[in-house]
Amino acid sequence: MQSKRNLIMGVVALVMLTAATSAMAGTTGTEFQNLYTWLTGLVQGYFGKAAAVAAIGLGALFSLARLNPIAILSGIGFAVFLQYAPTIASGILTATI
């Protein structure tokens, strides 16, 4: 019974691998181009910088209050994520195979 199931799963996997076509996600349509541009400008502009500074500042305050470095490291991580997330998402969504 288990052998038959494995055989079926193998055949399904083989069919899926051979039937794959090129992926062109995020390369067509301009319906959301204005929204994307606005959000990217917001996150990577002065609002994003202000949010990053606020996250690091609050993390520093909480770190001093609790004598634990995890809060400031979280703030730094948030700042790095906020800066690079749009670039990473754009790279993933516009990747072609």
Give the SS3 label for residue 68. Answer: coil
Instruction: Give the distance, in angstroms, between the CA of residue 30 and the centroid of all CA atoms in the same chain.
Output: 21
- What pTM does this model have? 0.58
Query: Across the chain, what does the average pLDDT equal?
Result: 83
**Residue 55 CB-half CA count within 13 A:** 18
- Dig out the tokens for 60 from the structure: 């520093």
pLDDT digits (tens, 9 = 90+) for 17-47: 787 666 555 556 678 888 888 988 888 889 8
**Across 41-61, average pLDDT:** 90
Residue 88's pLDDT is 86
Query: What amino acid is encoded at 20 in this protein?
Result: A
Instruction: For the chain, give the percent of residues with pLDDT over 70.
Output: 87
Residue 97's pLDDT is 64
